[in-house]
A = this chain, B = another copy of it.
Amino acid sequence: MLREAQLSICKAIEDIDGGAKFQEDAWVRDTGGGGMSRVLGNGNVWEKAGVNLSVVHGTMPQEALRAATERGVNRGQDAVPFSACGLSCVMHPRNPHCPTMHFNYRLFQTAGGNWWFGGGTDITPSYLVEEDIKHFHGVYKDVCDRHDPEYYPKFKKWADEYFLIKHRGERRGLGGIFFDDLNDRDPNEIFEFCKDAVNHVVAAYGPIIEKHKNDSFTEEEKRWQQLRRGRYAEFNLVYDRGTIFGLKTNGRTESILMSLPETARWEYDHHPEEGSPEAEFLDACMNPRDWV
């Protein structure tokens, strides 16, 4: 199912691009398992897009375990045997009016019979277009509601908390859904929910890109996008659980850091002009809103 989803999402992304094709790399992890990375670079629409499937096993240090789950499982052991499979994806378009999108859905199992699902889909524009964000969140609210009416409010809030760049008091983007350590019901039910969420990535994100992929933009708008991509890199390298887990468990660096933008920018003490579209966007990153 993961492989089918990977291929169908890549196909949709290639169609939107109308030029570039995904390249596929199969890789084996020294300490157990492997994966299939598909990356598209230098496209018409996409600067960098990647969809990564991985099925790994081995032992993870307690530190990595703590980074991966909020439940302390197998306390007292130094290293815990585990297996994990998942699909993750980041899409960075060129146009500053096209948002970046990320999703990740994964299942972990550790020795002793513990298991949990984690995942989410979130959107990171550089500018706020309310109807786009309402559409994106709306698709995920519908997906959630089909499985549990409590999911969307809970997972939307969780995304707002998770994607916070703590040292800045701002989120990397405008959220979506996020959950981790989910094991409160039959695993097949959670699996069906994850499948539904993966299968609605294109419906949630595709129309926004189609709408904006040919928007004109200024040099200043591109520069603002680059500054936001600096924030994206900051979040991923300092706080992202999957990135930290991967780097600390000898994951394949290139597949993990595929999530980083092709280009990023940092300017000292940059503040957008009051009342500008950049300031309006930043306000939405600092003060999460209800979109649906």
Q: Please list the residues of chain A having a beta carbon within 8 angstroms of any beta carbon in chain B.
A: 25, 39, 41, 48, 50, 166-168, 226, 230, 233-234, 237-238, 247, 251, 253-254, 256-258, 260-269
Contacts and interface: CB of A to CB of B under 8 A. Distances in A.
Given A237-B234, A237-B238, A268 B263 contact: no
Nearest to A266: B260
A261 B266 contact: yes
Contacts of A238: 237-238, 247
A41 B254 contact: no
A149 to B, nearest CB: 38
A150 to B, nearest CB: 33
11 contacts: A25-B269, A48-B267, A48-B268, A234-B237, A237-B238, A238-B247, A254-B268, A258-B268, A262-B267, A264-B264, A264-B265
Nearest to A268: B39
A237 B243 CA distance: 12
Contacts of A39: 268-269
A237 B165 CA distance: 12
A267 B41 contact: yes
B48 A263 contact: no
Which 8 A-B residue pairings sit nearest by Cβ, starting from the closest?
A237-B237, A260-B266, A167-B247, A254-B269, A39-B268, A167-B253, A264-B264, A237-B238
Contacts of A260: 230, 266
Contacts of A254: 268-269
B266 A262 contact: yes
A50 B268 contact: yes
Given A237-B233, A237-B237, A238-B237, A257 B266 contact: yes
A50 B168 CA distance: 20
A218 B266 CA distance: 23
Contact of A262 (B234, B237, B265): B265
Contacts of A237: 233-234, 237-238
Most buried by B among A25, A226, A253, A264: A264
